Every structure is written in C-alpha cells, then in structure tokens.
Structure 1
Amino acid sequence: MVVEIPVGLVAKGPAEATPPRRPGSVRRTSTIDMQWPTGPGTQLRLLGRARDLLTPHSGSDPMVLREDTMRAGVDSTTRTIEEIEAHPPRPHVRKLIGSRGGGSSRAVLAEAMADEAATGTPLYLLLDDIAGASLIAGFAYSRWIDRDLLLQAISAAPVRNMTGICTGFQPGSGALMPDGSSKWNHQVRPVVPLPRADDPMGWHALEEITAMSMRRARRIDVHIGEVIAIDSMFQDSSTVPTGGRVAVHEYRLTATADPRTGELLTIDADPRVLPYDECPLASRNVGKILGTPLSELRTVVLEKFSGTEGCTHLNDAMRALAEVPAMVRALRADDQA
C-alpha cells in the first residue's frame, strides 16, 4: 500500500523573514535552545525565553508586556525532567521534576501551573513545549555526528515501531522502514535568522550558538478588527558544523476568531519544512477544530488529531493558539488606556 499525496501538496520551503509588526498588535515570541554541555547522550539542557510585545495603535515605541525565562535539565534517554527553574521565580515549577516529557509532564504541568495556564503566561508556553523540545532535540545528532557512527548507534538501539503515530508515519508511508522504524533521510532546508535587520525589537534576545544544538521557535501575532486575526509560525532548527541553521519542521498558521466568543472561525496551515513527503497531509485536517473556543485548544486538538489524523508538530502549533485570549486582553487594555 502506497500513500497517495495530492498534486501540489508539498512543503514550500522556509519563510524568508519575519513579517513586520503592525500597529495595534501583540506579538508573542518564544524559543527553547537545546544543548548537551557535557557531550551527546548526556543531560539535555534547555534554555527557554518568551516575551509579549505590544505595538501600540498610536505608533509610539513598542512595550514589553511580559517576559519569562526557563532553564531545565532533562535526561536524554528517558526525557525525565531532572531540574528546572523559572525567572521571574515560580515555586510551583519544581513540581515538574521527575515527570517525563510527553503526556506525563503535561498532566503534571496542567495541575501544578493551572494559574499560569488560565492567564496564558509566556512561561506556560515554554513549559508546555518541554515535551516537544525533548522529543526532537536528538535530530541535531544527524547534523553533527558521523553518519556511519550514527547509523551504528541507531541499529544497536531497540526498534521503535512508529507506524500509525502520526500522519507522516501512517501505514504505507515512505518514511517507514520495513520494521516500522523511521528512516533518517530527513528533508531539511537552510533558514534565515528569525529577527529582521530593520526591526531589532521584533524578537526577544536570541543567543548566538555555533555548537551542536537545536532550537524550537514560535511567533504569534494578534490584532483585532472585525475579527481576531492571528498569524503564527513554528520552527525546529539545528545548527550545522559549517555555520548557520537548517530546519526540519516549519509551519505557518493563519486564523481568525470571533471577538465576542473567542470561537475559531477560520484556520489555514501552511507547511513550509517537513521531514517526509507524507507530512503535509496533516494540514488538510485542521478545519476539524473550527468553532472551538481558543482557550480550549490545548485539550481539543489532542482529542481530534490523535494518531494518523494529525502531526505532532502541527498539533503543538495549533495548541499554542490557546495563548491568544491573553494577548487579546492585553490589546483591549491598551485600547482603553
């Protein structure tokens, strides 16, 4: 059985640059940088930064509304959170220690940091992204470690059957080996820096990293007119020994929501960089969440896009739109000021 891919449904390549900020908007940016200070296979260190920036209608200088930082140490094999801290400090964040990246950590997070979730803080977005970041971090090995040594290490590891876990790994996918494990011939594309040269405030401060590392980056732009308009992007990229970065995942989402009820009115997923030819098929399913209140997307997306109905990374991009109501509140407060 071979998966049929509609003509023209392909990953189009990375976006050329971050769009300009528009007056009367709030932009949330976040990054998680992943490194192994003591070498591959040792503890994974995560440095997360996230910020909300208001660009006033008046044309006055942009204003930082909120900014959070997170540092964590994660076991590279089990993805167990071994240490974590936040700045500004939140004592409850230590309740995540001992949870495993994935469903375990998100369940603990939802209970331990319920207030952060309710108010849609930048910190909550970073903490929720630990699951995805710890999952994809090892991709950087494929850019930095000798391919023969890497394949030798993979062949010695227990086989993980990936069949059916997402759209890209549906039965018959060219991304699968005969034993159900995934192929390592990821399609990657070089990417340009996230900040615009003509807009130094467009992103929060980004660390210049040249050693082996991965970065998960998000941008969410929100403004209000007749509808709530949303433009967001998501990117996973690795440094490479020759310099610069290559992306293995990149999506752009555009959406609108009802300004009164917060229900999702339209949504479009634009696949930009994905590892396998079958991956963009997930973008055809996003309409299943139309009518969902933005605030409920973290749970509803997981319910509606399980298994081959969804893509792990597209799901995370849609779930992150649960932060939009907090950004809308900030815009309305500015309008009333």
Structure 2
Amino acid sequence: MADQYVQPGHGPAEPLPAVPSRPPGSVRRTTSIDMVRPAGFANGLRLIGRARDLLTRESGDTTVLDIAGFQAEVDFRPPRELRGLRTDPVRPELAGLIGQPTLSGFRRRLDQLCPAAERTLLLHLLDDVPGASLIAGHSQFAEQAVTGVSGLPLGMSANVCAGWRDGGTMAESLKAGEIRIVRGPLAVAPGPLGDPLAWHALPPAAPTMMRRHRLVDVVADDQGWRVDSFLRDSHWPMSGPAEGLETVIHEYMLTARVDAGLVVAGVEVTPRVLPWNECLGAVASASGLVRSSLGEIDARVRQELRGTPACTHLNDVIRSLAWVPTLLATLGR
C-alpha cells in the first residue's frame, strides 16, 4: 500500500486535507515552482514558477490583483548555476542573475538588481529559487534504484539545519557514504474542495517531478492582522508503492498575529510533514521573532536562524511575513 511509503524515523506525516478557506476581506498570494527534468536527470533542471494575488471582498467578489511567472534553466551540478531565465513581467535587469549560483548568494544578487523594498509578486516568486534548487535533489536520489538514473554530488554537509545535525539520520547516512531516501505521505489537493479560486491554475504533474506550493493569506482581526502562511514540497515518484502519486516531503503551516504597528505579536508553527524527527528541533526558532517589526523579519531570519536550531524550509515560511505590508496595501484597492 502507498501508506507504507512512510518509513520509521520519519517526522510528522499528516498533510492538510485542504488549505484554509479564503476569508472575506482578505488577500491571498499563491505561488508554485515546478522542478522538472525535460532532458533527463543528467541534463540540468528546469524551474517553472507561477504566482497570483487574489483579493476577496467582504461580499465574496474577487479580483485578480497581479500574476507573475518565470522559467529558469539550472545546471544541476553544485553550485547549481542559473543558465537561463525568462520572466513575466519582463525585467531586463534580471539578466544579471545568469551565471549566479542558485544555492548561495542568489538572494543577495537579486536584492542588488531589484531593491527588496519593491516586494513585487515576481520578486517573491524568484526569492524561492534557492529553496527549489535545493530540494530538487530529492528526486535525483529517490530514483537512483531505477535503471539509468545516475547519482550526482549531494552538495550538503552536516549541521546546515536541524534535519542535518551531527548524529541525526541524514548526517550519519552521509558519513556512511550513502543517503537515506525520504519517502513522504500521500498528498491531498492543495485547496478547499469546491473552491476553484483557492489556488492559481496548476498543470498536471508527471513522475519524477517536484513542486513547491506556497500560500499567504492576510485578513484583518480585532488586534490588527492575521497572517496564514503555508508551504508544501511535493514529489511524484516514478517507482515504489506510491508510483505516480503526489507524496509530501515538507509541509508547514504558520499563523502570525500582526498588530496595527506592523509588529509581530504572536507566531504559531504547525509542522505537518517533515522528513525526520530531528527536523522538529527547528520549530521553536520562529518564537524568537515575536515583537519584531515586519521590516526586520527578512534580515533577522537570514542572519540569526542558521545552523542546527533552524530549518531552511521553515525559514522560507517565516520570511513570507516580509511581504505582508505589500499585501496589506492591496487590501485598500
């Protein structure tokens, strides 16, 4: 059975049956990045990004506020350099990202080319390129038992995050010269049943593909604003008991309370799916950002949430709070 795809030592394995319904009087940002190998595992990685901002009025009427997308070609050998990029809308200055490693320094270069103060939908989508380039390696290693799929250098080391700490499942397997394959639970659709507007259009998936789903909801409450941020990394294996089905590798839900002064008043993180039990050690890291202004979040996460107390995937969820002021501005339209 496909449920047997989750192995001993796996962390939480309870993906959400549906993302939260769209609240009246809210703005929802959804993004996705598909990680595909059109020429096979040995011939690079293609990232296809899509994004949408949707306003839901108190009446329930909706307006699409913005859409964006990109297609990127990545040399999958570490440091996974960006070889090609097309964006919608077109931003000629982003040609300066070509040749940039996607695993390190990519966001700094993006900030240099397009000041972070812009906080546009396209830049939010491109900000996820490092995360997508990193997790795309999962499909490579998950399919090594399949004839014709060769290994590639992992490009990871111990103590980069909670899940890779010394003595943990992944670090110990790396020392042994092997890699433990993460097999996650079966997914359900990333949106409430019966709500075709819950998510932007997602094309059908194919075996070996991975997809990062992201969602941010902003809505007023009695204290100021409530922010719900969701992340899911999925994989469609080409072999094994879940062959051809969507399995979840990472999934987090974060709810933050933001006061009228745009200061974080509270944060609650729910880890729904994590590869290994060691990953749970990062969950408490978000609490240290309470009483930070939204304008401080991005820099504090990059500077402080590093190493074994942190999780790169959770960091991406937390950093989504930096885009909340831009989303709040759209609520006034």
TM-score, normalised on structure 2?
0.89
1:207 equivalent among 170, 178, 203: 203
Displacement of 1:171 after TM fit? 2.2
Q: Please give the alpha-carbon distance, in whole angstroms, between the structure 1 residues aligned to 2:137 and 2:122.
A: 24
- Cα gap change, 1:182 to 1:301, in 2 (>3 Å): farther
- Larger deviation, residues 136-145 vs 287-296: 136-145
Bigger shift: residues 249-258 or 164-173: 164-173
**1:4-43 map, 5 Å:** 11-43=12-44
Name the amino acid aligned to 2:197. M
Query: Which amino acid is the alignment partner of residue 127 of structure 2?
Result: D
Instruction: State the partner residue of 2:184.
Output: 188
Distance in structure 2 (CA, Å) of the matches to 1:182 and 1:62: 50
Cα distance in 1 for residues equivalent to 2:249 and 2:147: 21
What's the CA shift string for 1:45-95, capped at 9, x where partnerless? 111001110000123x21100110111111111310111111121111111
Can you give the 5+ residue segments of structure 2 that lack an aligned partner in the other structure?
1-9
SS in 2 for 1:248: strand
In the TM superposition, what is the alpha-carbon distance from 1:243 to its structure 2 partner?
Answer: 2.5
Q: How far has the Cα of 1:203 moved from its partner?
A: 0.6
Structure 1 residues 187 and 178: CA distance shift in structure 2, 3 A = closer
Q: In the alignment, which residue of structure 2 is the partner of 1:176? A: 171
Amino acid aligned to 2:164: F
For the 8 Å contact 2:235–2:248, the answer to whether it is kept is yes
| Aligned equivalent of 1:5 | none
For 1:290 and 1:182, the matched residues in 2 are separated by: 39
- Answer whether contact 2:52 2:68 (CA < 8 A) is retained: yes
Distance 1:177 1:19 in 2: 38
1:81 equivalent to 2:82? Answer yes
Q: Distance in 2 between matches of 1:252 and 1:287?
A: 14
How far the C-alpha of 1:224 sits from its partner, in A, is 1.3
SS where residue 189 of structure 1 aligns? coil
Contact 1:36 1:43 in 2 (8 A): yes
Contact 1:176 1:182 in 2 (8 A): no
Change (3 A) 1:161 1:202: closer
User: Which deviates further from its counterpart, 307-316 or 139-148?
Assistant: 139-148
Q: Could you tell me whether the CA contact under 8 Å between 1:264 and 1:293 is conserved in 2?
A: yes
Moved more, 118-127 or 228-237: 118-127
Q: Aligned AA for 1:74?
A: V
**Post-superposition offset of 1:10:** 5.2
Q: Say if 1:182 and 1:110 are closer, same or farther in 2 by CA, change over 3 A.
A: farther
**Structure 2 residue matching 1:175: 3-state secondary structure:** helix
1:45 maps to 46
In 2, distance between residues paired with 1:68 and 1:220? Answer: 15
Taking structure 1 as the reference length, the TM-score comes to 0.88
Q: Is 2:74 the counterpart of 1:98?
A: no
1:212 Cα deviation (Å)? 2.0
Q: Distance in 2 between the 1:42 and 1:153 partners?
A: 12
Instruction: Say which of 215, 227, 250 aligns to 1:230.
Output: 227
Which amino acid letter does the alignment assign opposite residue 153 of structure 1?
Answer: G
The answer on whether the counterparts of 1:162 and 1:182 sit within 8 Å (CA) in structure 2 is no
1:325 counterpart residue number: 325
- Residues 272-305 of structure 1: CA deviation (Å, up to 9, x unaligned): 1111111011002211111212233222112121
Report the secondary structure of 1:85's partner residue: strand
In structure 1, what is the Cα distance between the partners aligned to 2:31 and 2:178? Answer: 29
For residues 179 and 271 of structure 2, what CA distance do their matches in structure 1 show? 20
Partner residue, 1:134? 133
Task: Specify every segment of 5 or more residues in structure 1 that has no aligned partner in the other structure, as ranges.
Answer: 1-8
Amino acid at match of 1:146: A
Q: Using the aligned pairs only, state the percent identity.
A: 35
Report the residue type matching 2:212 in the other structure: R
Q: What secondary structure sits across from 2:66 in the alignment? A: strand
Residue deviations 1:206-264 (CA, integer Å, cap 9, x gap):
011224211011011110122210111101111123322111111111111112x2111
- Which amino acid counterpart does residue 46 of structure 1 have in structure 2? L
Preserved CA contact (<8 Å) 2:140 2:151: no
Return the offset for 1:147: 5.6
Aligned to 1:122: 121
Structure 1 runs, 4 residues or longer, greater than 4 Å off: 147-150
For 1:6, the equivalent position in structure 2 comes to: none
For 1:269, the equivalent position in structure 2 comes to 269
Q: Give the Cα separation in 2 of the matches to 1:160 and 1:46.
A: 19
Q: Partners in 2 of 1:182 and 1:166 — Cα distance?
A: 19
CA contact (8 A) 1:168 1:276 kept: yes
Conserved 8 A contact 2:141-2:181: no
8 A contact 2:18–2:193 mirrored in 1: no
**What displacement does 1:178 show?**
6.2
Report how many aligned residue pairs link the two structures: 317
